[in-house]
Amino acid sequence: MTSIALYHCIEEEQPFAEQWAADHGIHVACFPFELHEDTLHTIEGFDGVSYKQRSAPSNRPDFYQRLSAYGIKQIALRSAGYDTIDLMEAARNNIRVTNVPSYSPSAVAELTLSHIMRLIRHVPQFDDRAKRHDFSVYGLISREISELTIGIIGVGRIGSTVARIFHALGATVLGNDIAPNHELDDMLTWVSKDELLARADVVTMHTYLDATTRHLMDAHRFAQMKPTAYFVNNSRGGVVDTPALIDALNNHEIAGAAIDVLEGEATLFGNKLDADAPIDNPYYNALHAMDNVVITPHIAFFTDIAVKNMVWQSLDDALALITGGSSPHEIAPYDNQSHNS
């Protein structure tokens, strides 16, 4: 029987994996751990791989060669992002890579709405006051969404869904993308990054991560924003120069931030840590200490619809490739790792 290994399979994914396996007559093994050097041997005997990684499987250049030696010819990611994969090394070893580019744009867009609402209504500050039995409202008057200009960097499937939501709520929407979709012209205005940063009351990131977008938001970009503006990142942690974000907040260059992703999050988000032990991530510690920052632990994808789609599409792609077929989600190899050198 054809068999597929599902790595970093969490409890909520398992029922969807089991249902897919029963429907297709395929053996699917759900492993709770990620695919790394110390778990590579577990791939023996499997025909295909599906994984959702928080970090690259290995820093060794021969990892994909050894994966291929086990007979693996594909990796089906259960995510839109693919920065954990060295596409060139995979291709050199005849390993094809697929992702899930559109598991649920609404899932991420709805969390973006939630983050922005928390920021503009000063919910973190009111929560902090309430903990001190201070229920006053002074100094924290809010603006309404219809007054705001929302700037979206990266207007693909998710970014366009964000645009539709805020257009429907009466906001002015600005968009910036390397390939503007002019079908959205009735709900947003396409502008340069410089103009977007200068005009927006909220800047929200919905771009991919590769060598061209790493630290796209740096000190120079934050300095272009209005001091009353908010910053939201629900895409990838690496698109933000995190020390620059922390400095911008400390120096009151921006009014606040909400993040669902963070540089160095692999040892933090998705893990249950000792409540009495210090957190070994200086970025998180600095941001968590601020009452104008919202942090969620990489949960934008975590809805029932999104998780089902991620599992099923990933397994569909894995089966297609290991049986000699093709997938529209296959990623053409290019050097997506040069920023790591």
3-state secondary structure of 88: helix
> Cβ atoms within 10 A of the Cβ of 159, count?
27
Tell me if 70 sits within 8 A of 49, measured CB to CB: no
DSSP 243-290: HHHHHHHHTTSSSEEEES--TTGGGTTT----TTSPPS-HHHHHHHT-
Residues classed as catalytic: 236, 265, 298
Taking the C-alpha atoms of residue 203 and residue 231, their distance in angstroms, rounded to an integer, is 5
Q: Please give the angle made by the CA atoms of 287, 288 and 290, to the nearest 5 degrees.
A: 70
Residue type, 222: F
* 58, 60, 64, 70: CA torsion to nearest 10: -90
Tell me if 67 sits within 8 A of 41, measured CB to CB: no
Taking the C-alpha atoms of residue 309 and residue 33, their distance in angstroms, rounded to an integer, is 21
Q: Where are the alpha helices (DSSP H) in 148-238?
A: 157-168, 193-199, 219-224
Tell me if 149 sits within 8 A of 200, measured CB to CB: yes
Within 8 A by CB and 6+ apart from 125, the residues are 140, 291, 292
Among 120, 122, 98, which residue's Cα sits nearest to residue 204? 120
Taking the C-alpha atoms of residue 34 and residue 57, their distance in angstroms, rounded to an integer, is 8
